[in-house]
Structure formats: C-alpha cells, structure tokens
Chains A and B, each alone.
Chain A
Amino acid sequence: MSAYLARRLLLLPLVMIGVTFLVFGVMQTLPPAARAMLFVQKPEQATAIQAIIRKYELDKPAYIQYWHWIRGVLHGDLGYSQSARMPVKQAIAVFFPATLELTFFSFLAIVTVGIWLGMQAAVRRDGIIDHLSRVLSITGYSLPVFVWGVMLLFIFYGYFNWFPPERLSLEASLFVQSGKFKTPTGLMTLDAVLSRQWWIFWDALRHLVLPVATLTYFLTATLVRITRAAMLEVLGQEYVQTARAKGLAESVVIGKHARRNALIPVITLSGSILVGLLGGVVITETIFNFPGLGRWGASAALQLDLPAVAGFALLIAVVTVLANLAVDLLYGYVDPRIRLG
C-alpha cells in the first residue's frame, strides 16, 4: 500500500504542473496584447496593456512568461474577470457554493437512484425494473444533456410552471440580499435550515429540482449498468450459494452477503461521476440560468474573458485530480487486493 500511495502522491504535483502547462500553452496561441489580460488584477490596469507586456515580458520566450504567470497563480493572483466584474479569485468564491450545492444534491440523487435501480435490476433479472433500467441507460447515453434539460424546462416550467430556473425567486433573493439572512456557508438550503427560514429552504429546493434531475438522468446510466453487472457477478459466487443453501432468508443473503461486495466496483465509478458532474454543470447551469461556476465559465468563454477561463479551467482540473486521487485511495482501502497489485 505504501509504495502505491507514494507513487500516487508523487505523481500528483507532476500532473498539476502539467495542467498549468496545458492551460498556459493554449493561451499562448493568442497575441501578447490579449494575454496581458491575465495579469490585470484591477479594472483600471486594463488600459495600460503596453506597460503590462513590458513588465511581465510577454514578448520574451514562453518559459519567462510562464514563470511570471505561475508565480502570480501560486499567490492567488488569477487576474480580473471582465464578465463577472470582479477578480477571478473573488468570482470563484462567489460562484463556488452554488455549484457545490448543485453537485452535492445531484451526486446524492445519482448514487441513490443508480444503486437502487442497479440492485433491483440484478435481483429481479429480466423483470420490469431491469427492462426499464436498460431503456434508461441507453437513452441516458444518447439524449444530449442540453436536449433533456431544455425539454424539462419546457414542460415543468413553460407548461406547468412548477419548477422555475435560476437559484431563488425574486422575493427570496431580495430577502437574502437585504442582510436579514446570514449566508455563512453559501449553500442556500443549508443556510436556510441554520437560520430557520423554511420558505427560503423550499424556494431553493424548488429551484434545484430541474438542474439536479438533468444531471442525474444522464449520469445515472453508467452507474446502473455497473451496479447491475457487479451484483449479478456477486450473486453467482459460491459464498452466496452457500448462504442460500444454509437457509438464510433472501433479504439477508442480498443485504448482508451480496450487496456489500457488489458496491466495491461502484466506488471507482464515483470518481467519474464527479468528473461528469463538473463537466455537466457548464451546460446545466447555462440552461437553468443557475449562478454557479459553470455558467460563469461558459459566459466567460463566450466573451473571451481570458483570466476567468484560465482560472475556471485550473480550478476544475485541480478538483478533478484530487477527486480521482481520493477515489483511488478509498478503493485501495476498501479492496485490499488493489494494494498488492
């Protein structure tokens, strides 16, 4: 385990450095005047482009420029986001909680629905749920997330007017901004519970339904398949037959013997679900006008807000790499066979 862990941790900074090279390299295709925006920390500086080019040597070889840039990044100087009208660092702090809230609820929904459906499909093989989950999987793969999201908005907002887009209703957001409502965590549902403002809680929840449903629908497909396959494999094992042979009730066989072992491969998938969520929020937040990182990143990309695009990409890459590391470590912990391999 220690060798595996050491290698994994040793590679981490290497991949991180590589990620900064990649982002920097893509930016390098732009002329110096455009890249100078990466070094603008206050809106007033945006007029003094020539001075910035001279100061950060943007007409010198790439490695000198990289040095200037990465030094700033490590100090948290990620530039000024024109589209958000605030420094990138501050924009991340403002938009992060919304995305965290959205991905948290989605992750919860995906894992609950995915594992339940996968288990049911395996236990009652070729039953209604099995067929249903197969249809769900194949359409979940094939329906683009934006088509699904737009359809949901069309039906549940446009027609029924049940679940509106954005994060809060006008009333609620006025109350939140009035200062009477404390937002220590930035997660609307949690803050509402903490301050016992139940109507804010319900309002926030109502706005989360459609984006969560959108992300859940297309990310559950793989989980259902993997859970079903893993459960079927475990159910065919000899120790399960033994458990049945000694007369245990079917619910005990499944609950105590089979389910736990079938969940091991599911853990690896949780990493790719998280990566899928981070990619998915860009479109989902744009469709539902949900003020999170994804919508900010997408609108920054449209307006050529370079510092925001670079900061957003770096942030997402760091989160992805750390999430994958956490999943690998968890997997090694749960399944000792991995550590030896």
Chain B
Amino acid sequence: MMRGRAAWIQTVAPVAKVVTSRPLSVLAASAILVFFAVAALAPLLAPPRPNRDPYLIPTSGFEVEPMPPSASHPFGTTENQFDLYYGLIWGARTTFKISVSVIGASVIAGLIIGGAAGYYGGPVDEVLMRITDIFLAFPGLILAVVIVAVLGKGLDKVIIAIAAVNWPTYARLMRAEILTVKEREFVAAARAVGAGTLRVLRKHIVPNAIFPFLVFGSLDMGNVVIVSAALSFLGLGTELGYADWGQLIAFSRRWILGAPGRAFQYWYTIIFPAAAITLFVLAWNILGDALRDVLDPRLRSRPRLK
C-alpha cells in the first residue's frame, strides 16, 4: 500500500509542476474549470421551466427559421426556436455526463479485462486480446453508429455505444502496464510472504499500474466528446431537443449556407456551438500534451478514435 501511495506522489508531483510552469496549460486548465463551473451552475445560469426535464431545451414559438441574438435569446435560436444559450449551458452538463461515464466505463472494463489478460497471461491473455482485436477491427465511429442505429437514440444509448468502442484501447494499455509491474521485486516479495492473488493484485499491482491509465483517461476526454458530437451531428445522438452541443450543430446544417446574397445570415447557429466544442476539446488536448511530456512515451502515439 505504501509503495502504491509513493508511486502516486512520484507521478503527481512532476505532472503538477509541468502543468503549472506552462502558461498555455494553465490557460487550458482554467478553461476546463470554467466549463465545469458552467455545468455545475447550469440551474442558476439558465433556470429551467418548472415541471420540465431541465435537459430539454425550451422552445418559443413554432417558426422554422432561426432567430438572431436578441434580449430574450442572447445567442439567438436554432431552427424550430430552440434557445441556443440554454442549449449551450445545459449542453456543458451533457458533455461532462457523457465523457465521464464513457471514460469511467472504459476504465473499469479495461481494468478487469486488461488486468486479467496481463496477470494470468497464457490462454486467458490470448482469448481476451483477440476479443479486443475484433472490436478494434471497426473504425470507432462506425461501430458506434451501428450500435445507436440498433438501440435507438438517447443519452444512455450514446454512452453505451461509445464505451463499447472505447474500452479496447484501455484494456491493451492496462495489460501492458500490468506486464511490467508484475515482474517487479515487490510483487515477488508479496507472493513470497504468502499473499493471495487478489491481495497481490489489489494492494500491489493495480495501485502501481493505474496512474498512467488514469492519465490516459483524462487525455481521452476530448476524443470522447468529439465522437459523441459526431453521432449527434449524424442524427444518431440524443433525443430531439436535448441540450447537447453536437445536436445544436446538427440544427445549423440546413442554415449554414445562408440566404442568397446573405451568406452569413445565420452565423450564430454554427459559431456558438462550434466554439464550445472546439474550446472544450482543445483545452483537454493542450493539458494532455503537457501530461504526455512527463509520462510514458507509449502514450505519445495513441491512435485516434474517429
């Protein structure tokens, strides 16, 4: 246990140092904090109507055409009069919900499957790794599209679909991590004093293997958000009118080309949601870039799920 804690501190300290020593990563970290604050304070920033699911964007009127920013709609409205400001604020919550759930699920699946493969080796390893190969035979987005097409739209289904696509990378990483840790002396020492398999795993191997794994998870935030937004953009995301950045961009699709002679007439339908997604992902990637420099070089060439 003590070794586990020492390993944590050994890794956390240089990470914190690098992040705080670079102005760009400080900026990125602050941007993430702002997004988090917006998500947490959503009920204050954009009060939902009583007796209504707060994640459903309120509409005003039945006009199809988007409306430019005005006093009652500071960022304007999308087609069918969904309020952009409300959608952006609550969309920040949706974004955190999706990314944290997907990464949580991937971490757990990766921990169990990659952990078992790495620890037991032999046929267990072979079978589990061939299963991950099967999942990796699909470009990420395509398997997610198939899953949502079959399960139907909705936040929970989007989370299931992206997690199903995402876990194999985690399993592979965990396996590699376990393989290096399990050869270390303290593991042999623990076994020599008679510790059982579960105890060795829980107290000695996992605490030492998990940190790079969690960092990879944090680097993956931007990636997960891009995939979920891509699903929404294709119309395979959350239900109609759900506060979700990808869906807001999908709403703008019919309007981006403007009216004849007035190309930029509906600029607000695309600029605000596009800026929100891009800034969010950019912030995570800049932060990730800083972390990558401190941590394992293996993480430097992570494949992109797209």
Closest CB in chain B relative to A219 CB, distance in Å: 8
Size bracket of the A interface: 35 or more
The answer on a CB contact under 8 Å between A158 and B150 is: no
The answer on a CB contact under 8 Å between A158 and B141 is: no
Contacts A298-B145, A301-B145 given; does A276 touch B134 at CB 8 Å: no
Contact pick for B306, options A218, A286, A298, CB 8 Å: A218
Tell me how many residue pairs across A and B have CB atoms closer than 8 Å.
Answer: 155
The answer on a CB contact under 8 Å between B133 and A18 is: yes
| Residues of chain A with a CB closer than 8 A to B81's CB | none
The answer on a CB contact under 8 Å between A15 and B142 is: no
The answer on a CB contact under 8 Å between B236 and A301 is: yes
Scan A291-335; emit 1 where CB is below 8 A from any B CB, else 0: 000000110111010100110110011001100000000000000
A149's nearest neighbour on chain B, judged by CB, is: B233
The answer on a CB contact under 8 Å between A279 and B149 is: no
Q: Does chain A have a CB within 8 A of B40?
A: no
Scan A129-169; emit 1 where CB is below 8 A from any B CB, else 0: 00000000011011111110011011001110000000000
Contact pick for A297, options B145, B256, B289, CB 8 Å: B145
Size bracket of the B interface: 35 or more
Which of these binds chain B: A21-29, A73-81, A86-94, A170-178? Answer: A21-29
Scan B127-171; emit 1 where CB is below 8 A from any A CB, else 0: 000110111011111110111111100000000000000000000
Task: State in angstroms the CA–CA spacing of A85 and B274 once bound together.
Answer: 35
Q: Does chain A have a CB within 8 A of B282?
A: yes
Closest CB in chain A relative to B33 CB, distance in Å: 18
Q: Is the interface of B mostly helix, strand, loop or mixed?
A: helix
Given A29-B150, A229-B300: 6 more A-B contacts, CB < 8 Å: A18-B131, A30-B150, A222-B304, A272-B304, A306-B150, A321-B137
10 pairs across A/B with beta carbons < 8 Å?
A: A27-B150, A29-B150, A150-B253, A158-B256, A276-B304, A301-B149, A301-B234, A309-B149, A316-B138, A317-B137
Q: Which residues of A contact B (CB under 8 A)?
A: 11, 14-15, 18-19, 21-23, 26-27, 29-30, 138-139, 141-147, 150-151, 153-154, 157-159, 218, 222, 226, 229, 272, 275-276, 278-280, 282-283, 286-287, 297-298, 300-302, 304, 306, 309-310, 312-313, 316-317, 320-321
Q: Which residues of B contact A (CB under 8 A)?
A: 130-131, 133-135, 137-143, 145-151, 222, 226, 229-230, 233-236, 249, 252-253, 256-258, 263-264, 270, 274, 277-278, 281-282, 285-286, 289, 300-301, 303-304, 306
